Structure 1
Amino acid sequence: MFPFLIILILGASYSLTIAPALTWVHFSADGGDLISAAATGGVPHPSGYPLYLILARAFQWLPFGELAFRTNLLSTVCTILTALILYVYLMHQLRDRPSARFASFLATLAYGLAPFIWGQALVTEVYALHGLLMMLCIYVLSLAPPKFSDWMRGFVFGIAAANHLTAILIFPLLALGSEGKLFAPISVLLKRGLGLAIGLSLYLSLPIRAYFDPPINWGDASTLQGFFWLVSGQIYQQYPFSPSLADIVQRLRAFAGLVLQQYTWLGALLGLYGLISPPSRRTLIPTLWMGIVFLLFAIFYGSYDSQVNLLPVWLAFAIWLAYGLQDLLGLLPEASGRQTAIAGLLFLAILLRIPFVFSSVDASQDLRAQDFIKRAMQEIPRNSLVFVEGDEQIFSLWYAQFGLNQRLDMVVVAQGLLPYPWYQDTLRDTYADINMPQANALQPAELVVANPGRAVCHILHAEPIICAAAR
């Protein structure tokens, strides 16, 4: 019954709030890039996300809804699957406890209805799949070898990194032993290493995609240099360890507030209690490691949206919450019915919180991306050169042009990428009638001079679109 309720409650909540088209809410500015790359066989921004592209393309074949909506559904399905695996994992960990079902169910619902998790279930981004794969990694570590082979353990970790490179932060967990041993023997590590390599080999699909010159082709991974530029995320290497001491202190304070936002005061207290009283030390190591390394990464990574990297922390906290709930309910005698009554009250409290979270996460009402696309299609003259700055605006125009096949006459130029030779080559391949000057660090003015018959438009983030007629 409990798995059915999880699917029903989360499915209903997500279906009422999912974005019906492209959206910018919940840190999903990259959505247009990811959707369009998946639809055109392209390569999105670093690190390329090969596993995500494969799954997104599968969802894009669904026979209903707009292309963006179909891709958004991938996040919804991934989040519900994460919740189901979390429930199964908790039941496995608490199987000898009398109130395991109640604790597992309540903690799973609290996770799935946490504002950040709920928000990521509604939009196109890689983080819902990231959460699913992190949960799978934790789950397979808990299974004894006869139930799950060592090379398959490594494979799960490998495909996790093939979705999001931060999964490498939990690779050290592959060294954990089983059957009471802290560390695995060399023979086991070799098997896990083989599985890891097989999973990571999904990155080899990126050079193949790049070889066919798709309209979205970050780094041109068909070359060795471009492949390493893409996979290593060189364009973002200014972010790690860039926050100042004041920023770090501020982020730590903000994290405390985020814990309360996700799980409320009661959930936070029960989660912290569960952290210090897990069923066994062995069950604590994987979640504690995951929680700490991703918290540190989010704090020391300097991007404005670094809190998206906290998703594995919220997952670990849900597991600790289950441990705390188990101990709380375990104080009550099962036969008296008090345990069931308290669990029922906690379930009611979770349900009563839904309307308050609903309004803050509802992505179905975010029309900014759709309004921008509509306005751009109306205001930009035919055959224009369109210089764009701002991820939301660039990726929205890519989505309109490459995902929806609208306004194929205009030349969309991501101004910040123009100096890169690989991007110049992509423009040549995508817009056959454009005149591209030969320059190592091409400037917009040079491109304008080389194409005198085209109107020129400039879009700078959320500012009005400015266009000048062709000369």
Structure 2
Amino acid sequence: MKSAVDSIGYLFEKNTDRSVSILLFLFFLISYSYIAPSHVTFEDSGSFLLVALNAGIAHPPGYPLYSLLGKIVSSLIFWGSPAFQVHFMNCLLGAGTATLLYLFVRRWKYSLDSSLLAAVLFGSAFTVVYQSVVAEVYILNSFLFLLSWFYLIKFEESKIKTHILLFGLFSGLSMSCHWPLAVLSSFSFLPILWSERKKVFEYKYFLIFGFLLGLTPYLYFFVAHYFTDFLFLGPIRSLGDFFYVLLRKDREDSNVFSTATFKDSVEFIVGFISFSAEDLVYFGLFISLVGFILSFVLIGRLRSVSLFLALLSNSVFLLFLWRAEWNALTKDLYRFYNITPLLALCIYFAIGWDFFLKYISSSLYKRSFSILILIFILGFFFYKTIWKVQQSTDKFAYSYAKEVLSELPAKSSLLVHSDMDAPEIAYAHYGENFRPDLELNSQLAAMLPRKIFDRRFNNTNESRRIPLLNYISHRLDKGIKVFTTKKIVAFDDKTAPFPLSYSYRGLVYEISNTPQPDGISEKTYRFAISELDREILTFKDRKIWSYYRNQIVGEYCKIVVEARMYHTAFEYIPVCILMAAQSLNAYEKKFPESDEYFLKVIPYLKDLYVSEQADIVRQFLINRVHWVNSGMDNRRMEILMKEGIQIAIPIASRMKKCDHPLLYTMEEIDRQLSLGLSKSLTETRQKVCSK
């Protein structure tokens, strides 16, 4: 009688690659669909939901392929919420990428065991699972990259012109999805293209035709305004408009931060290793390392170099173009940029695992060992990864959006701000038709159908002030109430004060011609308390997009502060600790207690941008000045202020503005209190001003 293991092995051996692929695809499709949210999540999810549902154009570089595919798939899905219908497309793409990886590794003549484990390891990775259940472009980009690579390998083996045509087609489609990442990934194609250059040149017209065919989704840019109003920057009517969007002219400042340092680049590399270890269940990274070392011997020079370039593509090459600070937001962005290098690591895993299996003489032990590892990976997937993804795709953002909209009076107008609030609120309003009586617009004239100005031409705060004032005043004159989620950013209290009045209403500000008293409704207060109660139970769990999440948590804590109440969140959640410090300073004048809270929050500043860190540290120093001025012996005063400035100097030295208030604050404190730090402060100023 055959043992259970023999029976399983027999079934495996009887299955063809096609049947294994079908089972693999269905397994991940069902798993992803089960945990895919039925609502909007953080970051660009809301934006991609809207452009997919309405065949619009997303933020630069536009991502036309994702928008068009999203429209097609969501039109064919007749169940679930509008958000789920688009998320389901990502489920299909995630399952398809894992399945294609299995076929790709099998193409390289590796065993069924190694190929299946590599595919399951990839499909179970947190980074992949998250991107496979929310509306985002990264899993589509990786799917097209792998499909391009697959047909390039087939062309290398067969020299058939159809394969080079398909390679060109899928490479072009990849450029129509996320061209910056596609360009970086395409370096991995160069060794094989160079080795087959004679045949490539012979079939060059097939390659060019396929590539140009793959770029055709960009033609939609020129006609999109006939079909939809969801155009991030407005209609594209000329080649100038086209290249403005394609080359991300609107976001040039987000590519290179003058405050970024070499240390930040090192942090990103270390972060990639850490993310990969977590995604590959730690032991998988060790097997991948073995496979990496052996690849240069076992798979030939061309394929090993190609695979190595795929590993470096978005993990290392990207850092030469994207010079960013390492913080909570950029860390999450970088993680999702690296699905293509994760594919390479899983191929290395297959190489390493196949090598280990060769040293096991018994086929029974080989299959048993592989099954045990498969069970371990799936156990980790079901026990931890799914739970973690569900923690990161909860209804927190969606609940916030609906509460903001429900708080407003009938037929009023709301101005949203940026990625912090606009995508979630816009999806709830337009995607689910929630509060259709409201008028929704953007302070930045982005994404939404109505635009107050053209940000391609009104690209400074000064040029945006008059259109914004005209928009607001026109509605106020007609008796329409106007609200905004953030104070109008085009105005500055020092150089260009906002000429109208704000009244704080909790999650929004009301704008009026004359000053009105602040007021938070009981409903809004209770909602904020309930959300904080839930958040305090889970805030220690690592969540994706914590930067955005904390912005909303901060709004809830501000409501509690303005109501002069207390919540335990002020003791545990960093953004709420900061609110407590600011409240104790501004309202209660309890400077020693405020100092304690500031000291609690300073270790968490690394999660913020340097400019935000500088503002908080300046508040910390000013609070200490108030404290020492309230009465303190000279010795203790000197110790406290020197300590404060020493905390501030590393942050101040990274600033890009020579006239930043933090520099002046430190210098003024040193001058008035004679702390003897003038040399250090002069060096800091010279370092900042030389940038």
Post-superposition CA distance 1:178-208 (Å, at most 9, x none): 7964775533344323321221121111111
* 1:464 and 2:507 matched: yes
CA distance in 2, matches of 1:312, 1:177: 18
Tell me which structure has the larger Cα radius of gyration. Answer: 2
Match of 1:196 in 2: 211
* Residue pair 2:74, 2:86 contacting (<8 A) in 1 also: yes
Match of 2:130 in 1: 119
CA distance in 1, matches of 2:451, 2:123: 39
CA distance in 2, matches of 1:291, 1:235: 30
CA distance in 2, matches of 1:408, 1:263: 45
TM-score normalised by structure 1 residue count: 0.87
Match of 1:284 in 2: 304
CA distance in 1, matches of 2:119, 2:198: 30
Residue aligned with 1:451, SS: helix
Match of 2:475 in 1: 451
Residue aligned with 2:434, SS: coil
CA distance in 2, matches of 1:233, 1:22: 25
* Match runs of 1:129-148 below 5 Å: 129-144=140-155, 145-146=159-160, 148=162
Match of 2:254 in 1: 239
Is the deviation greater in 313-322 or in 381-390? 381-390
CA distance in 2, matches of 1:146, 1:323: 27
Post-superposition CA distance 1:62-96 (Å, at most 9, x none): 1111100010001110010111111111111025x
Residue aligned with 1:464, SS: coil
* 1:380 and 2:400 matched: no
Is the deviation greater in 376-385 or in 341-350? 376-385
CA distance in 2, matches of 1:425, 1:223: 18
Of 334, 344, 362, the residue aligned with 2:371 is 344
Q: CA deviation at 1:111?
A: 0.3
* 1:103 and 2:114 matched: yes
1:363 to 1:209, Cα distance in 2 relative to 1, 3 A: farther
Post-superposition CA distance 1:87-111 (Å, at most 9, x none): 111111025xxxx100000010000
1:45 to 1:232, Cα distance in 2 relative to 1, 3 A: same
1:36 to 1:185, Cα distance in 2 relative to 1, 3 A: closer
CA distance in 1, matches of 2:425, 2:313: 36
Supply the AA of the counterpart residue of 2:221: L
The percent identity for this pair of structures is 21
Residue aligned with 1:168, SS: helix
1:179 to 1:447, Cα distance in 2 relative to 1, 3 A: closer
Is the deviation greater in 34-43 or in 83-92? 34-43
Post-superposition CA distance 1:260-302 (Å, at most 9, x none): 1111332111111112222222322332212212112443522
CA distance in 2, matches of 1:442, 1:195: 47
Of 82, 90, 94, the residue aligned with 2:109 is 94
Residue aligned with 2:253, SS: coil
Is the deviation greater in 171-180 or in 64-73? 171-180
1:288 to 1:368, Cα distance in 2 relative to 1, 3 A: same
Residue aligned with 1:55, SS: helix
Of 272, 276, 281, the residue aligned with 2:289 is 272
Q: Superposition RMSD on alpha carbons, in Å?
A: 2.9
Of 81, 85, 100, the residue aligned with 2:96 is 81
Q: How many residues align?
A: 450
Higher relative contact order (CA 8 A, sep 6+): 1
Match of 1:431 in 2: none
Post-superposition CA distance 1:275-330 (Å, at most 9, x none): 22222223223322122121124435227223221111111111111111111111
Residue aligned with 2:510, SS: strand
* 1:296 and 2:296 matched: no
* Match runs of 1:301-316 below 5 Å: 301=322, 302=324, 304=330, 305-316=333-344
Q: CA deviation at 1:173?
A: 4.9
Supply the AA of the counterpart residue of 1:267: G
Gaps spanning 5+ residues in structure 2: where? 1-14, 456-461, 488-505, 515-691
Residue aligned with 1:417, SS: coil
* Residue pair 2:113, 2:370 contacting (<8 A) in 1 also: yes
Q: CA deviation at 1:154?
A: 0.8
Supply the AA of the counterpart residue of 2:510: C
CA distance in 2, matches of 1:179, 1:227: 32
Is the deviation greater in 158-167 or in 398-407? 398-407
Of 370, 395, 403, the residue aligned with 2:431 is 403
* Residue pair 1:369, 1:392 contacting (<8 A) in 2 also: no
Residue aligned with 2:485, SS: strand
1:74 to 1:212, Cα distance in 2 relative to 1, 3 A: closer
